[in-house]
Chain A
Amino acid sequence: MRVKVLRQQSLISAPYWETFEYDGPADNSVAGVLDYINYHDDIINAEGRKTTRIGWECSCLQGVCGACAVVINGTPALACETFVRDLKGRDMEIRPLRKFPVIHDLKVDRSSIHENLKQADVYIGEYQPTQDGNHAHQYAAAKCLKCGLCLEVCPNYVNGRTFFGAAFANDCYLVASRNRTKGGRARAVYAEHFGKTCSKSLSCMEVCPMKIPTLASMAKMNRKGK
């Protein structure tokens, strides 16, 4: 199998494609493929030239931390839970999330997700539940990995300066549902940075590794006066 990786040595250097031959186990995850390619004395690309190890990020390797979010064959996904056996075609193409600055190869700086939530003062403060609280929905929303996959696929999210995307919307929902005194404020920032711009393609829900029901969050947040 040929593995094509979009590489970039640093924040300011130019990106370029480099291809590798992969002859490892077919039941490996994409994270396993990257480890396999990297684990040699000399890293040789498909053209037979010596090159450097591929930079990528991981922590849990079991789909609960979001570190390894990349784009695989055009689809944003976690490398640790995407398996070679499930990919269509004989080749694999991996590139970093393009909505964030690249630090090194597949490592990107996603701190804008947190900074936007901070700027909009999105926090629960004190648990004061609403009467119609949906526990399962809140549990799902709190599992958001802040991995950025929903933002990568979103047609409305560009650079995170005004429209903050689904990760922001779900945190707003969590605040409104866990603290009834903050519902008004949470809805206001939700409307400003998500509600009024979202074109409802719902592609964010398709790629979410935690299967967060963003549409249900939107339904709750769009309801006036609740």
Chain B
Amino acid sequence: MKHVLIIGSGISGMVCALRCAEHGIQVTLVSHVPSERSQSVMAAGGINAVLPDDETGDSIASHVEDTLKGGCGLGGKKAVEGLCTYGGEILQWLERIGTVFSVDDKGRPLSRAFGGQSHKRTYYCGASTGKQIVSALVMETRRFESAGLIRRRLWCCFHSALIKDGACYGAILFDEARRRLEAVYADAVVIATGGQNALFGKTTGSTQCDGYAAGKLFMQGAELKNLEFIQYHPTTMETPQKRMLISEAARGEGGRLFYRRNGRNIYFMEDKYGSGGNLMTRDVVSREIDALDEKIYLDISFLGKSVIDDRLPEIRDLCARYGGIDVTREPIPVQPSVHFFMGGLAVHLNHETNIRSLFAIGECASMYHGANRLGGNSLLAAIYSGNVAADEIAGRNDGGLHPDFRSALEHESKLLTRNMNTQSTYPVMYMRDMLAETMRTRLGIVRSEDNLKTGLTDIDFYLSIAERICYDSSVMPYFNYSLTAILTLARATMICAMARQESRGAHWRSDFPKTDEAYGSASIIAYDGGNYSVRLDKERRYES
């Protein structure tokens, strides 16, 4: 029986596991924490789809057009067509497995308007769409676990992939309970580890998503794509530990952005872009806020208590709990924050990387969103990509025999044991925090050559330390061994941002403020023994 190893058990990982199991494939689903702790539960606003019985005049072609336009020409057309074509089917499947969508009095799922979209096609479950989908998927996964087709491995972290001659045969995992490395062989490995939040420290996302898998695989030969495109969500609320996302659902329901001057509220987005100004794409709104030296507010109080209680209860509770704000009476102070990574592991249409039998899905893969992601498309892409990878794996006849990686495992185990017995006086968390500070200040909403060069110099310094410091034994070994790959990923991101000498979508250069069609292709970066080489994918190799 075929065996697939899936790293990450959020929405994308679970969907891939389910589809593989439906194909009769044995799945090992690895994650350090249960699915309920994954970042997927934080997805709030909704999922985009055009239903077959749509009566609003919406169409798949229109969804494709909006997505490509939002991505500023860098989202692959073929891939986006596939994504949007299956939106309706995916929504119906989610309903079928029991997801509790918000529904009208006839039981039909409700949709709301989201930024940059020509139609109201974002279907939702209150403002906890991700959580409701995770709950349904956990139940469905449980069904196949009982049947013995899906096996969960908790308390395990990814260490490295078993790669030889351009093909992947499994992965080395770190078992936290036994505190040792273990090789797991598989016919295919699927990476579903989410975005690279740790690069920026305080973001809207989970502390569990750190980009290590992408960074490590990059060092092992996997190519990365479009790393410079990082989405700053325009409406987040500052708290001591993190940036709380105020979902785009708030603006989708009519919320208005403003600042105060001389006792008057200035609705700057409406003044500049007209009545739909508050729902411009996230990159545009974030840049407008960044350009203003003003305290920005989001007002939903005028919607009234009953609308807020009915459609936005999670936003009401979040603001009350963490900001002491009663959103039915007062506006929410907001500012942009890192929210989503359009870039990640470069994958072909079938979600395979440049390494055979190594796949990537969900946010850690770069495929559909180009230079800027539309709200509601991430949940859709997470599910669609999981299905695509599973179908590809099921359709293959290869697998079975694998090279002997025992000496590689022994080597890595010796190295880890030696390091685990050391004692650093310099906590690894400090290194992560210094990196986050560099990334936030040098790779912000608006970038420049000088800033990026300084950032690169800083990261080179951190890398030179990371290579030499001992382990901090009072945190999990994972935090120690992951440091170099995370810094390497950060360095690659900085290099991609320097190489793209234009402004497009979420990548805005003050020294190159115009879009240059010479850069109208995805950027690809490769790593070879410490050398980083970046190129534009002009021949669109990853769009096939």
Binding site for B on A (CB under 8 A): 11, 25, 27-29, 31-32, 35, 38-39, 41-43, 52-53, 57-67, 80-81, 103, 109-111, 114, 117-118, 121-127, 129, 135, 138-139, 142-147, 171, 174-175, 178-179
Contact = CB atoms under 8 A, between A and B. Distances in A.
Contacts of B155: 103, 109
Contacts of A175: 139
B206 A179 contact: no
What are the 5 closest A-B residue pairs judged by CB atoms, nearest first?
A124-B98, A53-B474, A52-B474, A123-B139, A142-B135
B126 A139 contact: yes
Nearest to A147: B36
Contact of B128 (A64, A118, A127): A64
B132 interface: yes
Given A67-B33, A143-B132, 19 more contacts: A27-B240, A59-B38, A60-B42, A61-B242, A64-B128, A64-B131, A65-B36, A66-B36, A103-B177, A114-B34, A123-B139, A124-B139, A125-B97, A125-B143, A127-B96, A139-B102, A139-B126, A143-B128, A171-B139
Interface stretch (B47-55, B359-367, B422-430): B422-430
Contacts of A39: 429
Contact of A143 (B99, B135, B475): B135
Contacts of A110: 34
Interface string B178-209: 00000000000000000000000000001110
B119 interface: no
Contacts of A138: 100
Contact of B132 (A11, A60, A124, A139): A139
B242 A62 contact: yes
Nearest to B36: A146
Contacts of B98: 124-127, 174, 178-179
Interface in B495-543: none
Contact of B241 (A29, A65, A126): A29
Which range contains the number of B residues in contact with the other chain? Answer: 35 or more
A60 B100 contact: no
A135 B110 CA distance: 13
7 contacts: A29-B240, A29-B241, A63-B321, A65-B42, A80-B241, A127-B96, A143-B135
A95 B427 CA distance: 25
A214 to B, nearest CB: 16
Contacts of B136: 124, 142
Contacts of A171: 139
Contacts of A11: 177
A124 B146 contact: no
A184 B269 CA distance: 55
A59 B206 contact: yes
Given A57-B33, A138-B100, A144 B135 contact: yes
Given A58-B207, A67-B37, A139-B125, A32 B103 contact: no
Contacts of A29: 240-241
A53 B278 CA distance: 45
Contacts of B107: 129
B466 interface: no
B391 interface: no
A29 B244 CA distance: 14
A31 B401 CA distance: 47
Interface in B90-105: 95-100, 102-103
Interface string B119-143: 0000001101001100110111011
Contacts of B425: 41-42
Given A127-B97, A179-B98, A66 B37 contact: yes
Contacts of B139: 122-124, 171, 174-175
A65 B207 CA distance: 11
B41 interface: yes
A114 B100 contact: no
Nearest to A146: B36
Contacts of B36: 65-66, 145-147
B452 to A, nearest CB: 28
B96 A62 contact: no
Contact of B240 (A28, A58, A81, A114): A28
B132 A59 contact: no
B41 A60 contact: yes
B240 A32 contact: yes
B96 to A, nearest CB: 5
Contacts of A143: 128, 131-132, 135
Looking at A11, A143, A179, the one whose CB has the most chain B CB atoms below 10 A away is A143
Contacts of A117: 142
B145 interface: yes
Contact of B143 (A35, A81, A123): A123
B131 to A, nearest CB: 6
B321 A81 contact: yes
Nearest to B242: A61
Contacts of A125: 97-98, 140, 143
A135 B132 contact: no
B468 to A, nearest CB: 17
A64 B473 CA distance: 30
A142 to B, nearest CB: 4
Nearest to B40: A65
Contact of A62 (B126, B240, B244, B474): B244
B246 to A, nearest CB: 11
B96 A126 contact: yes
Looking at A57, A122, A127, A142, the one whose CB has the most chain B CB atoms below 10 A away is A142
